[in-house]
Amino acid sequence: MGKNTLLLVAIATLLLSFNTAKPRFRVLALYENGGHHVAYSKAAKVWLDQLAADSGFAIDYIQYTDSIDDAFLSKYQLFIQLDYAPYGWKEKAVKAFEKYIAEGRGGWIGFHHATLLGEFDGYPMWEWFHQFMGDIRWKDYIPGFAGGKVRVEDTIHPVMRGVPHSFSIKTEEWYTYDKSPRANVHVIANVDESSYVPASEKKMGDHPVIWTNPHYKARNIYIFMGHSPDLFSNAAYVTLFRNAISWAAKK
């Protein structure tokens, strides 16, 4: 066998070892592929796939909760609720998810629509999730969208590594709730409602937008911003998202 052939074999073997290497961890992303959040979901998938390839983790996507049960979730170290509302889930998925979080079987990151808590589309409010998100209920939003400035409160939290102490969001709906979740969660960042462009009367006063609930074993973080695909051109946002994955997956 010639030297060139040996070199090609060695390269092929090396590439094969890279391709078959065991992923560092596995991620499940539950996402909406319809409605007015579809553009965000599509952009998120492109970004997540590239991050997974670069960082050595595996990611699977589902659009419905039909397949979720204890056995299914046992394959994943991180569950990303990517703009998916907390209602209309299959009963077995509800029970499996509650167990996954309560027993710390994996981490969780929720975005935007995950706090659409109330009675919607004929479904009752998921009481367990209501408490998980800090005992809040969705109240209103800015339907015409607005820019706003996010202010970091916990600057030493690992998800804020490399994130500026304040950063701007170009386009968002900015939900309001029946009350601030602050009494029941650990707030990491809030939005400065006086910074809305255009200005809006839909305000909460104390308005957390990133928080974690320390009363559950699973590492968990909720990030409100998650409507517009332009978020993936925002350096602060993608840094936050990347950090959240590492932190919640304990990697």
State the Cα–Cα distance between residues 223 and 237, nearest whole angstrom.
10
Least confident of 17-21, 67-71, 143-147, 157-161: 17-21
Distance from the Cα of residue 94 to its chain's centroid: 18
94 within a domain of the structure (yes/no): yes
- 74-98 confidence digits (pLDDT tens): 999 999 999 899 999 999 999 999 9
Residue 4's pLDDT is 52
User: Domain range for residue 105?
Assistant: 24-248
Q: In what order do the strands lie in the sheet with 186-197?
A: 58-62, 26-31, 78-82, 107-111, 220-223, 208-212, 186-197, 146-152, 166-172
3-state helix, strand and coil shares in percent for the chain, rounded to the nearest 5: 35, 25, 40
Place 21 in a pLDDT band, splitting at 50, 70 and 90: confident
15 within a domain of the structure (yes/no): no
Residue 20's pLDDT is 54
Domain count, the chain: 1
Place 137 in a pLDDT band, splitting at 50, 70 and 90: very high
166 within a domain of the structure (yes/no): yes
Q: Which CATH number fits the domain that encloses residue 107?
A: 3.40.50.880
Please report, as a single letter, which amino acid is at residue 149. K
pLDDT at 41 over 80: yes
206 within a domain of the structure (yes/no): yes
215 within a domain of the structure (yes/no): yes
Place 116 in a pLDDT band, splitting at 50, 70 and 90: very high
- 212-248 confidence digits (pLDDT tens): 999 999 999 999 999 999 999 999 999 999 999 999 9
**CA distance between the termini of the chain:** 43
193 within a domain of the structure (yes/no): yes
**Are the beta carbons of 138 and 117 closer than 8 angstroms?**
yes
Question: Phi, psi at residue 139, to the nearest 5°?
Answer: -120, -50
For the segment 107-131, the average pLDDT, to the nearest whole number, is 96
3-state class (DSSP) for residue 11 = helix
**Are the beta carbons of 148 and 202 closer than 8 angstroms?**
no
- 169-204 confidence digits (pLDDT tens): 999 999 999 999 999 999 999 999 999 999 999 999
77 within a domain of the structure (yes/no): yes
For the segment 12-17, the average pLDDT, to the nearest whole number, is 45
Least confident of 28-37, 111-120, 170-179: 28-37
113 within a domain of the structure (yes/no): yes
